[in-house]
């Protein structure tokens, strides 16, 4: 943490959602919309560090949950037989990755989760000398493998025929393969990289997509979600508007009880920034080395990991001085995401903070 400039992970995660700061500042002085009447919160210090909150806190969370739900669409399109066929194809992708048959940036490995980029891949801020939200860049053309034909034939065509996406929309397909207890931390799909909507299809097992969580690590702990969306095997989930742009989403470890894979289908923006010959990676060699044979993570899946309680246990200091941002959720009106994309650079220039982003 010292290297990233943050003494506490909560500051890092807070910096990943700068749109919440304005909301918090709006209420921290006890005023709202210039009325001078604040929404009261009562905190009580006791031996067990309990705290009391007014009904407004629950009401705000319920309002935000409704906004999230209203900007999500779900459909059950794929039959169990179709799922089984697609899952066989996913296993073939995994086998090719283990054999080292893909291009250098197609496979991205993490403990209990492997990611496979097709069509377009992108690098996160932590891999660049200039780090922080908004620094994500697409790889150069040809540095990841093309979208497999079976993804077009078995998945994309079905979505087009069912009116989920228009024909020709998808140019980026990502397969996330989770082992039990695997996760992906809270994030917003980069606005300057991807157009909306964000479409995903789930396979192998049921799981859940959570919104508005905060992660802590060593050991991993996850705060209470604003909204939990069940995702069933074969279901299609479409995120747009508020759910895609105004609140983070994640996969919690406890929600991956069995192996689960998801195919994420997106369209990159035509003006999305791309790495070029002048871009400098934090550890770029003079010449690109030959790709090594890929191997799966040596970390074995813990069969009990998905069942352990993983609740946020804040330290005593924070319990004595609870952060309003933990309970205040952004409920301001959702701007058009195209406008947000245009204003993103202005916000990034004004923030001036360097953040070490986790890969997601």
How far CA 161 is from CA of 63, 76, 202, in Å, comes to 34, 14, 18
Distance CA 214, CA 209 (A): 13
Distance CA 359, CA 125 (A): 8
Half-sphere CA count of 288, side-chain side, radius 13 A: 8
The DSSP secondary structure of 236-254, one letter per residue, reads EEEE-HHHHHTS-EEE-GG
Catalytic residue among 6, 102, 122, 124: 122
Half-sphere CA count of 41, side-chain side, radius 13 A: 21
Question: Any catalytic annotation for residue 122?
Answer: yes
Distance CA 246, CA 340 (A): 10
Distance CA 155, CA 78 (A): 9
Beta bridge partners of 198: 239
> Beta-strand (E) ranges in the chain?
72-76, 107-110, 113-118, 122-123, 137-138, 172-178, 184-187, 198-203, 207-211, 215-216, 221-222, 227-231, 235-239, 249-251, 260-266
Half-sphere CA count of 305, side-chain side, radius 13 A: 22
What 3-state class would DSSP assign to 307? helix
What 3-state class would DSSP assign to 154? helix
Q: Which of 7, 3, 13, 5 is nearest to 185 (CA)?
A: 13
Catalytically annotated residues: 122
């Amino acid at each position: 943490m010292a290297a990233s400039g943050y003494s506490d992970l909560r500051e890092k995660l807070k910096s990943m959602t700068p749109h919440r700061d304005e909301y918090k500042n709006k209420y921290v002085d006890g005023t709202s919309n210039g009325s001078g009447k604040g929404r009261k919160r009562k905190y009580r210090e006791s031996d067990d560090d309990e705290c009391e909150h007014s009904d407004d806190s629950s009401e705000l969370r319920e309002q935000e949950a409704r906004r999230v739900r209203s900007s999500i669409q779900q459909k059950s399109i794929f039959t169990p037989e179709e799922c089984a066929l697609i899952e066989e194809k996913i296993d073939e992708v995994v086998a090719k990755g283990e054999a080292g048959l893909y291009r250098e940036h197609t496979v991205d490995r993490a403990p209990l989760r492997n990611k496979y980029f097709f069509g377009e891949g992108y690098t996160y801020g932590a891999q660049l000398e200039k780090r922080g939200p908004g620094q994500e860049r697409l790889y150069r053309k040809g540095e990841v493998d093309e979208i497999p034909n079976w993804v077009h034939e078995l998945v994309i065509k079905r979505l087009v025929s069912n009116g989920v996406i228009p024909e020709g929309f998808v140019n980026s397909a990502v397969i996330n393969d989770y082992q039990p207890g695997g996760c992906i931390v809270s994030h917003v799909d980069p606005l300057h990289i991807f157009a909306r909507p964000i479409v995903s299809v789930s396979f192998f097992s049921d799981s859940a997509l959570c919104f508005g969580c905060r992660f802590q690590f060593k050991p991993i702990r996850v705060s209470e979600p604003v909204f939990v969306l069940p995702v069933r095997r074969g279901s299609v989930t479409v995120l747009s508007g508020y759910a895609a742009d105004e609140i983070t989403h994640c996969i919690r470890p406890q929600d991956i009880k069995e192996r689960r894979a998801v195919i994420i289908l997106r369209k990159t923006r035509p003006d999305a920034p791309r790495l070029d010959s002048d871009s400098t990676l934090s550890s770029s060699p003079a010449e690109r080395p030959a790709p090594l044979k890929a191997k799966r993570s040596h970390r074995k899946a813990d069969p009990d990991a998905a069942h352990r309680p993983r609740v946020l246990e804040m330290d005593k200091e924070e319990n004595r001085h609870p952060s309003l941002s933990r309970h205040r959720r952004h409920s301001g009106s959702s701007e058009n995401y195209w406008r947000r994309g245009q204003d993103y650079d202005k916000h990034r220039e004004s923030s001036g903070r360097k953040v070490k982003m986790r890969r997601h």
